[in-house]
Protein backbone atom coordinates (compact mmCIF):
# COMPACT_ATOMS: atom_id res chain seq x y z
CA UNK A 1 0.00 0.00 0.00
CA UNK A 2 2.79 2.44 0.90
CA UNK A 3 4.57 1.79 -2.40
CA UNK A 4 1.42 2.66 -4.39
CA UNK A 5 1.07 5.96 -2.50
CA UNK A 6 4.69 6.90 -3.23
CA UNK A 7 4.29 6.06 -6.93
CA UNK A 8 1.07 8.09 -7.08
CA UNK A 9 2.72 11.12 -5.46
CA UNK A 10 5.68 10.88 -7.87
CA UNK A 11 3.38 10.75 -10.89
CA UNK A 12 1.43 13.74 -9.59
CA UNK A 13 4.65 15.75 -9.12
CA UNK A 14 5.78 14.95 -12.68
CA UNK A 15 2.43 16.07 -14.07
CA UNK A 16 2.59 19.34 -12.09
CA UNK A 17 6.13 19.99 -13.37
CA UNK A 18 5.03 19.56 -17.01
CA UNK A 19 1.85 21.68 -17.08
CA UNK A 20 2.64 25.17 -18.47
CA UNK A 21 1.11 28.55 -17.79
CA UNK A 22 0.66 31.00 -20.65
CA UNK A 23 1.90 34.60 -20.57
CA UNK A 24 1.44 37.22 -23.29
CA UNK A 25 4.14 39.87 -23.76
CA UNK A 26 3.47 43.40 -25.00
CA UNK A 27 6.19 43.35 -27.69
CA UNK A 28 4.11 42.51 -30.74
CA UNK A 29 2.51 39.18 -29.87
CA UNK A 30 5.08 36.98 -28.15
CA UNK A 31 3.59 34.13 -26.12
CA UNK A 32 5.65 32.45 -23.36
CA UNK A 33 4.69 29.04 -21.98
CA UNK A 34 6.32 28.49 -18.55
CA UNK A 35 6.45 25.22 -16.66
CA UNK A 36 8.77 24.23 -13.83
CA UNK A 37 11.00 22.10 -16.07
CA UNK A 38 10.84 23.99 -19.38
CA UNK A 39 9.96 27.24 -21.15
CA UNK A 40 8.80 27.74 -24.73
CA UNK A 41 8.63 31.20 -26.35
CA UNK A 42 6.65 31.75 -29.54
CA UNK A 43 8.37 34.99 -30.57
CA UNK A 44 6.68 37.74 -32.61
CA UNK A 45 8.56 40.98 -31.92
CA UNK A 46 8.06 44.31 -33.62
CA UNK A 47 10.86 46.89 -33.64
CA UNK A 48 13.47 44.61 -32.11
CA UNK A 49 16.50 46.20 -33.76
CA UNK A 50 17.88 49.19 -35.64
CA UNK A 51 18.43 47.30 -38.90
CA UNK A 52 15.63 46.95 -41.46
CA UNK A 53 15.89 43.15 -41.49
CA UNK A 54 15.45 43.12 -37.68
CA UNK A 55 12.19 45.10 -37.82
CA UNK A 56 10.04 42.00 -37.20
CA UNK A 57 11.36 38.85 -35.50
CA UNK A 58 9.60 35.48 -35.62
CA UNK A 59 10.55 32.08 -34.29
CA UNK A 60 10.60 29.70 -31.36
CA UNK A 61 12.92 29.46 -28.36
CA UNK A 62 12.94 26.33 -26.17
CA UNK A 63 14.68 26.17 -22.79
CA UNK A 64 14.90 23.03 -20.67
CA UNK A 65 15.95 23.58 -17.04
CA UNK A 66 17.02 27.10 -18.03
CA UNK A 67 19.39 25.94 -20.79
CA UNK A 68 18.53 27.07 -24.30
CA UNK A 69 18.30 23.97 -26.53
CA UNK A 70 16.55 25.42 -29.60
CA UNK A 71 16.43 28.90 -31.11
CA UNK A 72 15.22 29.72 -34.62
CA UNK A 73 14.34 33.40 -34.13
CA UNK A 74 14.94 35.28 -37.37
The pLDDT tens digits for 5-62 are: 999 999 999 999 999 999 999 888 899 999 999 999 999 887 656 666 667 888 999 9
**How far is CA 25 from each of CA 9, 10, 38, 42, 44, rounded to the nearest angstrom?**
34, 33, 18, 10, 9
Determine the pLDDT at residue 52.
Answer: 63
DSSP element (H, E) containing 11: helix 2-18
Amino acid sequence: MKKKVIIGVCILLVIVCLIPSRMYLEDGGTVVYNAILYQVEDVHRIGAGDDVKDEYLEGTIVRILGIEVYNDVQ
